[in-house]
Amino acid sequence: MNSEIIKKFCDLLGEERVFTGEAMSRHTTFKIGGPADYFLMPDKDTDVGRIVKICKESAIPYFILGNGSNLLVSDQGYRGVIIQLYKEMSQVEVEGNVIRAQAGASLARIAGAALEAGLTGFEFAAGIPGTLGGACVMNAGGEMKDVLVRVTVLDEDDKIHVIEKDDLELGYRTSIIAKKGYMVLGAEIELQEGEKEAIRTRMNELKEKRVTKQPLEYPSAGSTFKRPEGYFAGKLVQDAGLRGFRVGDAMVSEKHCGFVINAGEATAAQVDELMKQVSAKVREQFGVTLEPEVKRLGEF
């Protein structure tokens, strides 16, 4: 660890928001991952830009983390700075039919705020285990495009600016934010007035569907593979006879074959190997290449 760098981070954020050697297994939904050299928890947009500037000046790699719901971190951890935009940057404000929220606000919390305000249009996101920042980057559910008004980002020159809806280029799990490598700091969404009971009913229906069909009782990173054009990844894995297939404690879910779960004490290496074997077997049987949906961080 570099004591000079640690001092810079502490001077900026305060010692209580700066950690070293932080186990990433504590910050991913997979419950897997070795230590990060530096783990920072900013609570202001401007501090995020200053952190990035320090990282660039010191030639230290950095990674933006939400709630860790789509991430596999190496067993060796991450040799760089993790900037967590989650609970410390999760303010949600409702004004009329507009909701403004910071990037770290969970989609479930925003959906709850919409429900309380009697606003409809965000029910789809109530059960997605992610943050607003990640949802903007990946057009979560394919429906963020219907509600986003504008997104505040930190660009490649460490400048904060606002991107209007028409310039977001929202598509299937992509956006201009993803293409340019921008960092989401917050966003504004616009919803419609609705009936609270109807909104609550729809949210409960979607929740029940997730609980019934997805292996929520086990740690995972959500859908493991991207949907190949013309196919469903989980169906291909199932048809390849891989339901319950495992490498160590990494396992293809028996409830939904599109999920790889941590069935106990799985390591990142086991998950990685399982994904490679599953992809190879599906390609061998069906001639379809499964690409990972889950992002890898660190050395594999």
In terms of DSSP H, where are the helices of 122-232?
Answer: 132-138, 176-180, 196-213
For residues 129 and 159, the answer to whether their CB atoms sit within 8 Å is: no
Q: 143, 190, 273, 293: which one is catalytic?
A: 293
Half-sphere exposure in the Cβ direction for 261 (13 Å, CA): 18
Active-site choice (25, 74, 175, 223): 223
What token pair was written down for 189? 């969404």
293 is catalytic: yes
Radius of gyration of the chain from its Cα atoms, rounded to whole angstroms: 20
Residue pair 298/78 in contact by the 8 Å Cβ criterion: yes
Is 227 catalytic? The answer is no
Closest CA to 96 of 187, 189, 175: 189
| Lookup result for tokens 């929220």 | 101
Does the annotation count 223 as an active-site position? Answer: yes
Residue position matching structure tokens 């186990």: 23
Sign of CA dihedral 167, 92, 132, 73: positive
Report CA dihedral (75, 80, 81, 86) to the nearest 10 degrees: -30
From the candidates 173, 210, 227, 283, give the one annotated as an active-site residue.
Answer: 173
Catalytic residues: 173, 223, 293
